[in-house]
Amino acid sequence: MEIPAPLVAVLAQIGDRFPELADDPVMAQSLLDNVASMIAEAHERYAAGVDGSVVSDRYLDPAHLATGVLHAERAQHPAGAMLAAEVLFDAYLPVFVDEVGATTADELLRATRALHAGIWNRFPAGAIAYTEALRQRATTAHLDSRTQIARDLHDRVAHGVLAGLQRLDLVLLTDPPAERRTEQLEAAGRLLRTALADVQDLAVSLHARVGDDLLDDALRRHVRDLFPDDDRITVTTTGVPAPLPNWKGEEALTILLEALTNRRKHAPGSRAEVSFDWNPGHVVVTLADDGPGFDVTKDADGRLGQQTMRERAGVIGAVLAVESALGAGTTVRLTIPRGTM
């Protein structure tokens, strides 16, 4: 589709305000399609003589709802779309007036209302769809977390307690020689202590708190509590740290603690380096270990609980990436926008 020259100039202005669109061809194409559709609708409204700019009667338009869902999937806050709309309205209004040939006061008012309605009837539906998508993500993350906790309690804690009790019962039923009895009791103790540690891990994860700390300081504090005897975890910071919105920091901390817990389960004894790279618009947290790694093409979500972590990341507009290969360790990278969305 050939883009008219006036529209090219407007899109360039929007691109200057949102350079991230250049890196996302899906969003860039969505912007072009929506802008062209907005202007076409404005022309239709003007030609039909519609004299009004009320738009909320179309807030459930399926096409506009789809745009809102796309923005949520791409972590594009509706406020950004509204700012782009303001740029479009201000820059294109003179062009639109010239295109429709409006000259009288009534025609100028009708042209203004037509362009306004053509642009703004997207946003009630888009904002509703965006909110609904985030609500569904939050619900899914909550349910997935409950499922994972139930699975951990059954597979790890209950199994460890049962195995420890079986060792104790074996000692009571067989009354083995002293040396064998000591071995059995020590084995039972190890199993029960491991189960206790698993319960403590779950409790800390459930009560992950950033509080008044910065995210990197909060993680250091929890590492000391969760892994007091592990001297193979290092946490470093570059850039200028700044507070995140509390709800965003809590979700991010939960994701990072889950990643560290996975590392202890699947790569015990490995070295883990957690690095925080603070930038003006986002913070990138990278957790890399030198463990055995795994094949990311084979049930990676089930093995690392990545699905829950990705859902949590989606709720705060973050992006989670996991890279691994057999014998090459694992790297988890969480990119968190620093805004207040």
Distances (CA, A) of 123 to 41, 59, 84, 334, 340: 15, 8, 11, 29, 20
| Region at 124 (left for phi over 0; alpha for psi -120 to 50; beta for the rest) | alpha
Q: For residue 340, is pLDDT > 50? A: no
Work out the mean pLDDT of the chain and round it to a whole number: 78
Domain ranges of the chain: 5-121, 137-207, 212-341
First and final C-alpha spacing in the chain: 34
83 or 204, higher pLDDT: 83
Distances (CA, A) of 28 to 37, 115, 196, 311: 14, 21, 51, 24
| Region at 269 (left for phi over 0; alpha for psi -120 to 50; beta for the rest) | left
pTM of the predicted model as reported, rounded to 2 decimal places: 0.51
Q: For residue 14, is pLDDT > 90? A: no
- Which CATH number, 3.30.565.10, 3.40.50.1820, 3.40.50.970, 3.40.50.300, labels domain 212-341? 3.30.565.10
pLDDT number for residue 237: 96
Q: Tens of pLDDT along 20-60?
A: 665 667 767 777 777 777 888 888 888 888 766 555 555 55
Q: pLDDT > 70: what percent of the chain? A: 71
Q: pLDDT > 90: what percent of the chain? A: 16
- Residue 39: CB atoms within 10 Å: 23
DSSP-assigned letter for residue 268: T
d(CA 310, CA 288): 17
Q: Tens of pLDDT along 235-271?
A: 999 999 988 888 888 889 989 988 998 888 888 889 9
